[in-house]
Amino acid sequence: MTTDPRRGRLDARPGVVASAGPTGMHLLSLQAPRDAFLYVPGTARAPMPLALVLHGSGGEARHGIELLQAAADAHGVVLLAPASTRYTWDVILGGFGPDVALVDAALARAFLDYPVGAVAIAGFSDGASYALSLGLANGDLFDHVLAFSPGFLEVPTRRGRPRVYVSHGRRDTVLPIETCGRRIARTLRLDGYDVQYYEFDGGHVVPDEAARSALGRLGRREALDAGNAARADAPASDSPRTG
């Protein structure tokens, strides 16, 4: 397999790592002026669950870390947060492209230095839409897709069967729940995905309980066993934009 940015396909895979790199916050220096950060909590233990975290429109790499850092500390989950090359992710601007290559490079760096077990892709708002789109295209890599207040998903080709977590606020005025979160969850369930859907009485935010519940799926030991099955490469299928 080779990376195909136009179809959202990723090459990077976890490998055998003899010893883990240092804990704490690390700048990866993959691009300038926008870059990627890796946060390794002191609670992380090998094989370390890792979540690739994608910021919302106009956000920066650190925003992804800030959304989930407390939950990552609680569950021992490594957070990898790249920044989009433009103000938001490429698929929102018209199609997969340069951000796919950037994400692939960030994952490859993390997999080189840390013994990774379960792998998730997560995001908020535009980042959640991108997490769904890229995650379902790479279900042979991602065990879990964690989407906080997503707007849509667009997947040219699906692989594998990752577990999906979707949260959405009933009073979200940015991405209305009925046409976004609820519709996405219904569609994915009809498509046969294992979907956990959480509604809360709030707006366009990631509540602490949603962050902890979502990352808890990675921190549990059974997440590793589920990951082995989820990464089985399913036949490709074309999928229309949803949401």
pLDDT digits (tens, 9 = 90+) for 40-51: 999 999 999 999
DSSP string, 188-233: HHHTT--EEEEEESSSSS--HHHHHHHHHHHHSTHHHHHHHHHTS-
pLDDT band at 242 (very low <50, low <70, confident <90, very high): very low
Residue 85 above 70 pLDDT?
A: yes
pTM, entire model: 0.88
pLDDT recorded at residue 127: 97
Q: What is the DSSP letter of 20?
A: -
pLDDT recorded at residue 222: 40
Token pair 């919302």 in the structure block, residue: 56
Distance of alpha carbon 136 from alpha carbon 156, whole angstroms: 9
pLDDT recorded at residue 156: 77
